Amino acid sequence: MELKTARLTVLIDPAKKQAFEELCRAQDMTPSQVVRRLIRNFMEQHEAEAPRRAPARKSPTTRRAR
């Protein structure tokens, strides 16, 4: 499970939002849980296409002249 979170703002029409929230409630899930699952599934389906993040590089150490 991720330790840090980031906000994703999505604009949809109010009727769809209400219907989505009602459907989530009927499934005993929060809208956030459903959206996270949708994103995770989408990423798994397309993981071969996803750009890979380069591993973080350590910054080079600088030597002081003596």
pLDDT value, residue 3: 80
pLDDT digits (tens, 9 = 90+) for 10-37: 999 999 999 999 999 999 999 999 999 9
What is the rounded distance in angstroms from the CA atom of residue 62 to the CA atom of residue 40?
41
Structure token digits, residue 46: 């397309």
Tell me how far CA of residue 49 lies from CA of 4, 26, 35, 43, 52, in angstroms: 25, 34, 21, 9, 9
What pTM value is reported for the model? 0.66
Q: What is the pLDDT of residues 35-54, one digit of tens each?
A: 999 999 999 999 877 666 66
